[in-house]
A and B are shown apart, each in its own frame.
Chain A
Amino acid sequence: MQKSLKSRDNELAVTNKQLEILNGGIFADGELPYFKDKINEIGQFPLRPKKLEILQINVGYMCNQVCEHCHVDAGPDRKEIMTRETMLLCLDIIRNTGAHTLDLTGGAPEMNPDFRWFVEEAAKAGIKDFIVRSNLTIIRANKKYYDLPDFFKKHNVHVISSMPHYTRGKTDKQRGDGVFDKSIKALQELNARGYGMPESGLRLDLVYNPSGAYLPGDQMALEADFKKALKEDFNIQFHNLFAITNLPIARFLDYLIASENYEDYMYSLVEAYNPAAVSGVMCTNTISISWDGWIYDCDFNQMLDLKVASKVKHIKDYNEDIINDRNIIISQHCYGCTAGAGSSCQGTVA
């Protein structure tokens, strides 16, 4: 199994090195425009938040998979896990936030030993949409996770699962050997509980992200292909497919550089820049909280350790009004969220 950048002592495990690459090279020498200059052309710089709608909490970087494209650099060797003490601070925020959606992510969020407790407590807070981003295979990884589909159902959790392709080869290439078969089994189990069925209130959405140095195609066309293939081949149903662009950070950046695709990929992102997508980027309606309680504009900025530009940077000092009155930190990775129809954790935005 592949290892995280961190455990390999890869130079990109240092976030400053990633930022140096994103700010240098073809951008520094003027071949491509800085993201800041592009959004300045449409009067969107500095980028400002709108109403906070989504609270995204990353409960830890530990994962049972080591996907080639992972922007978190997650894996079994990552020990950064949110403690119950930090979760208690998060619960205070959840009870008082103006956001309507709670989005739990990781790593594999289910691997946090306090995950079930946290879900139960957060569910009591009565948030409207309660999302868990599950990699699917965790449900089949160990007996102690076999009850997860029932647990999700009990708390009416909205499950969003990664599924890079409806063929075994492409899925396993990106996410590891055997991932496709385990994912199919997990999806069938979720379907058996009513998840993803047409009239069901139990929402099951899939996330597609390209298995290589190219951008995702049309979300609706991909969704139609996925629905047809998964239904015909495995009798699996789901609600929506979210097409997400891979952002050039962490392991995906490492892949782009190692495969000599970095410059072409950045050209593709800049060429596909869509000014109409800028006002809908997720950092304008989301904040991201890390395992240790720091606050970021998005999960990508979290992985680049770009904390919010606000006097409130940690949840122990949380104040939603102060946090919402900030400028969003941007760099060239942000082109990933404005390419084509745009990209966010909820799929396209334009």
Chain B
Amino acid sequence: MADSYYNSADLRKFGKITEWSEEIGNKFFDYYGKVFEEGALSAREKSLIALAVSHVVKCPYCIDAYTKDGLQKGITKEEMMEAVHAGAAIESGATLVHGVQMMNKYNKLSM
């Protein structure tokens, strides 16, 4: 058994997932590549979105990849940290908004 469930060197092997399912693997990478091209949003903006989402889904591979991608695109550390906060705010907001459900239930059950 591996010492850890996550090994940073495994990120280099990501492309190998096509070896066990070529057609849909390739479709995924084609889609992935297309998504991050310049479009209505710039590649820079998409990189920051990806960084924020990487934190929200807590994917260490994605965090490594999009920190490096941001550096390559000249994104500053301040911009990166603000993106992480934007993701964290949505995630904590998603928890807190359930407080309304708790309040609704509390009120319904209470005299």
Contacts and interface: CB of A to CB of B under 8 A. Distances in A.
Interface of A: 165, 167, 170, 208, 210, 212, 214-218, 221-222, 225-226, 267, 271
A226 B74 CA distance: 9
Contacts, number: 29
Nearest to A216: B72
Contacts of A217: 72-74
A350 to B, nearest CB: 17
A274 to B, nearest CB: 15
Contact of A210 (B12, B42, B71): B71
A216 B68 CA distance: 10
Interface of B: 12, 42-44, 68, 71-74, 76
A210 B68 CA distance: 11
Main SS of the interface on chain B?
Answer: helix
A59 to B, nearest CB: 31
A223 B73 CA distance: 11
B72 A210 contact: yes
B72 A267 contact: no
24 contacts: A165-B74, A167-B76, A208-B74, A210-B71, A210-B72, A212-B71, A214-B68, A214-B72, A215-B72, A216-B72, A217-B72, A217-B73, A217-B74, A218-B43, A221-B42, A221-B43, A221-B73, A221-B74, A222-B73, A222-B74, A225-B74, A226-B74, A267-B12, A271-B12
A170 B72 CA distance: 13
Contacts of A212: 71
A231 B12 CA distance: 39
Nearest to B76: A167
A221 B44 contact: yes
Given A221-B43, A221-B44, A267-B12, A214 B71 contact: yes
Q: Sorted from nearest, which 3 A-B pairs have the closest CB atoms? A: A217-B72, A217-B73, A214-B71
Nearest to B72: A217
B65 to A, nearest CB: 11
Contacts of A218: 43, 73
